[in-house]
Amino acid sequence: MRVLFFGDIFGRPGRRAVASVLPDLKKRYAPDFIFGNAENLAGGRGVNRKTFHEMLDMGFQAMTTGNHVWDNREVFSILEADRRLLRPANLADPADSPCPGAGHALYESKGKQILLVNLIGRVFMDQSEDPFAAADWILESAPAGVPIFVDMHAEATSEKYAMGWYLNGKVAAMVGTHSHVQTADERLLTEGTAYITDVGMSGAFDSVIGMEPAPVIQRFRTKRPQGFHPALQNPGVGYVVVDIDSNGKALSIERVRHTVADDLLADERDTE
């Protein structure tokens, strides 16, 4: 089994960059499953129906999210109706106000099955429930013999590494998202779990994690509010390819980051 997973896909530049490379990647890798993080899909903040279905039309089987999951109100109705969009499994879920959607789901493609899990970290992030406990109860009820692929959306590299070792041998892959900066530490852990701290971003590489640099720099210098806009220049993609054997163990993980043609992007302001 082969899984193609894109890191945070940022706004229209990210969506168009992915669209430009995906036909070739399908031919080159013949993936059984295509997943990606939709955290910043619509204008850099959250996901809406239009952008979500745009990715499904490209061939994505499902997408994960993270701390910006609630930034667009359309996400509530998407999560309730469509399990192809996940929210972190360890978000607060009080009995009197249940959390919409699901944090994990089983997907089928080409006669194969995989369980995709979405977790969120707690270090330097908004408060959430224990991701390690959430992983435990998901794995306890996971169907036997089905490979498990985990997206850990977290800020701290140490927290992602801790989760990787915690899940070592229990899941086929644990990949990190959120920082938008691809790390060069992809490896197979000792018990057959593919790991990378962060898959990186698909979007404008001449940016500050997807946004135009100047307002971000001014914000850092003055600590005063600024209007942030998705950058357009030097679009590119970041993804990993994970091969998984019949026992649900990873055989390999390949990390890729490269630019695509600048003429893919229009000059108009990206508002979605």
Structure confidence by residue, pLDDT tens digits, 75-94: 999 999 999 999 999 999 99
Q: Judge whether 28 and 4 are in contact, CB under 8 Å.
A: no
Instruction: Give CA–CA dist 129/232, Å, rounded.
Output: 36
pTM of the shown model: 0.94
Q: How many residues does the chain have?
A: 272
The active-site residue, picked from 53, 68, 178, 229, is 68
Residues 152-205 have pLDDT tens digits of 999 999 999 999 999 999 999 999 999 999 999 999 999 999 999 999 999 999
In the chain, where are the structural domains located? 2-264
Into which CATH architecture does domain 2-264 fall?
4-Layer Sandwich (3.60)
Residues 20-61 have pLDDT tens digits of 999 999 999 999 999 999 999 999 889 999 999 999 999 999
Average pLDDT over residues 96-103: 94
229 pLDDT more than 90: no
Residues 195-224 have pLDDT tens digits of 999 999 999 999 999 889 989 999 999 999
Residues 254-265 have pLDDT tens digits of 999 999 976 555
- Quick check: is 178 catalytic? no
8: left (phi over 0), alpha (psi -120 to 50) or beta: beta
Instruction: Give CA–CA dist 251/229, Å, rounded.
Output: 40
Instruction: Give CA–CA dist 189/96, Å, rounded.
Output: 40
